[in-house]
Amino acid sequence: MRKQLLPLAIAASGMAFVATAHAEQPNGWFVNGNVGSSHYSAEVDDFGSGTETDTAFIVNAGYRDQRILGFEVGYTNLGSVSESDDFGDRVKLSGDGWTLGLNGHFNPTSHWYISARGGAFLWKLHAKARIAYDDGSSDTFRASEQSLGWYAGVGTGYDINRHWSVGGNFDYYKIDKDVYELGTRIFSVSAEYRF
């Protein structure tokens, strides 16, 4: 009789463990924020600015089913790039936009996680040019452009507890319309709170 109860007790304890682990990963809402370094590779009207670096930040909110896969909406500020010459001319290009996409959070161990995200990026570019003349005067021109691009990213980090996690991320934002072509890579640190 004991030999027959032992496998049943082991199976019951295994089911209780699975139920407990499942309870630690509830459905739920989350908010997260990233701050990091953006690396622009910009081209305007076939004139490349090379690669420049600035500060970027990302804010997201969303919902994940079983803390694995869900949706996110957010805002991203890509920072800016600028170019100037010896004659006093200066051009500055900055970008930001809204995101809507899918977000995944996978736990290979109880605390270590791997994340992935991607979706649509409704971007807006702001261009400002200052043209200097020989007589010392100058003119300033401003323009903006808006369209739909895409973004994708991966990350890894540590789940401190059921609510908090911290991590490191790589994200890529693609902007391509008319004379503008930008690929922006963002390396960032992040914190997330799960409700």
pLDDT tens digits for range 34-59: 999 998 876 655 555 556 778 999 99
Query: Domain for residue 147, yes or no?
Result: yes
Averaged pLDDT for residues 159-178: 91
What is residue 11's three-state secondary structure?
Answer: helix
Residue-level pLDDT at 51: 61
Measured between alpha carbons, how far is 43 from 131 in angstroms, rounded to an integer? 19
- Note whether 72 and 101 are within 8 A (CB): yes
Helix, strand, or coil (residue 27): coil
How far apart (Å, rounded) are the C-alpha atoms in residues 164 and 60?
A: 15
Taking only the tens place, the pLDDT of each residue in 111-165 is 999 999 999 999 998 888 888 888 878 888 888 888 999 999 999 999 999 899 9
- Domain limits for position 93: 27-194
pLDDT band at 26 (very low <50, low <70, confident <90, very high): low
Predicted confidence band of residue 10 (pLDDT cuts 50, 70, 90): very low
The angle formed by the CA atoms of residues 43, 36 and 45, to the nearest 5 degrees, is 5
Residue of 52, 14, 11, 24 whose CA lies nearest to 183: 52
Close Cβ partners of 129 (under 8 Å, ≥ 6 residues apart): 89, 90, 91, 92, 140, 141, 142
Is the pLDDT confidence value at 11 over 90? no
Contact residues for 191 (Cβ-Cβ < 8 A; gap 6+): 32, 33, 164, 165, 166
What is the mean pLDDT of the segment spanning 21-45? Answer: 75
Q: Look at residue 24 in the predicted model and tell me its pLDDT.
A: 54
**Any domain includes 33:** yes
Instruction: Note the pLDDT of residue 66.
Output: 75
pLDDT in tens, 64-122: 987 688 999 999 999 887 777 888 788 888 889 999 999 999 999 989 999 999 999 99
In a domain? residue 160: yes
Is 19 inside any structural domain? Answer: no
Average pLDDT over every residue of 26-33: 86
Residue 104 is assigned to a structural domain of this protein: yes
**6 in any annotated domain:** no
Contact 56, 36 (CB under 8 A): yes
Q: What's the CATH number where 174 sits? A: 2.40.160.20
Contact between 81 and 92 (Cβ < 8 Å): yes
H or E element at residue 16: helix 2-23
Position 43 in a domain: yes
- pLDDT-derived band of residue 181, with 50, 70 and 90 as boundaries? confident
Task: Determine the pLDDT at residue 17.
Answer: 37
Total domain count for the chain?
Answer: 1
Looking at residue 6, the DSSP 8-state letter turns out to be H
> Is residue 51 assigned to a domain?
yes
Measured between alpha carbons, how far is 47 from 119 in angstroms, rounded to an integer? 28
Q: Which residues contact 21 (CB under 8 A, 6 or more apart)?
A: none
